[in-house]
Amino acid sequence: MPFQLSPRIYALLLCASITQDQNTGGWFIQPFSHVTVQQLPTDLALTVFAQIMAPPGQYDLTLRLFHAAEPEKTEQVLPSRPFSVEEGKNLDFMLHVEARFTKLGLYIVEASIAGHHTAVTPLRLSAG
C-alpha cells in the first residue's frame, strides 16, 4: 500500500524579507520572532511564509493571531486564502498581512489548512 501524504505545513515563519535565488529558484528568507515597538496600540505589516506539502488539489489556508496570555480577548482572524498544489510540487505560500497589536508580550501566529493541519510560530512584542 503506498504512503498517503496528508496536507501539512512543514515550516511557518514571519519574515522581514523574502527574495528568490536566481540560480536555484529557492528562497533567501530573513525570519524574525521579536519586534520592538515605541507605542501601543500599533499596526504592523507582517509577511507570513508557509511551506506546504500536500497531494494535488485545492485547499484553504486560514491565519489567526492572538496574545498567548489572553487568546479570547486579542484574537484576530484573517479571511481564508485559497491555494492549489500541483502534482510533484511543494508550495511556498507567502502572504502579506496587517495586524493591530494592543499589548506587549508573546503572540501566536497560527496557520491552518482547513480540516487537515495547524502550525504555529511565535512573535514577541517588547517596548523599545
What are the structural domains of the chain?
A: 8-127 (2.60.40.10)
User: pTM of the prediction?
Assistant: 0.90
The string of pLDDT tens digits covering residues 11-55 is 999 999 999 999 998 899 999 999 999 999 999 999 999 999 999
CA distance 1 to 20: 38
- What pLDDT, on a 0 to 100 scale, did the predictor assign at position 84? 95
Q: In what order do the strands lie in the sheet with 91-101?
A: 27-32, 8-20, 42-53, 91-101
- Spatial CA neighbour of 123 closest among 53, 38, 37: 37
Residues 52 and 5 sit within 8 Å (Cβ to Cβ): no
- For 19, 36, 65, 74, 104, the CA distances from 125, given in Å and listed in that order, are 25, 6, 13, 14, 5
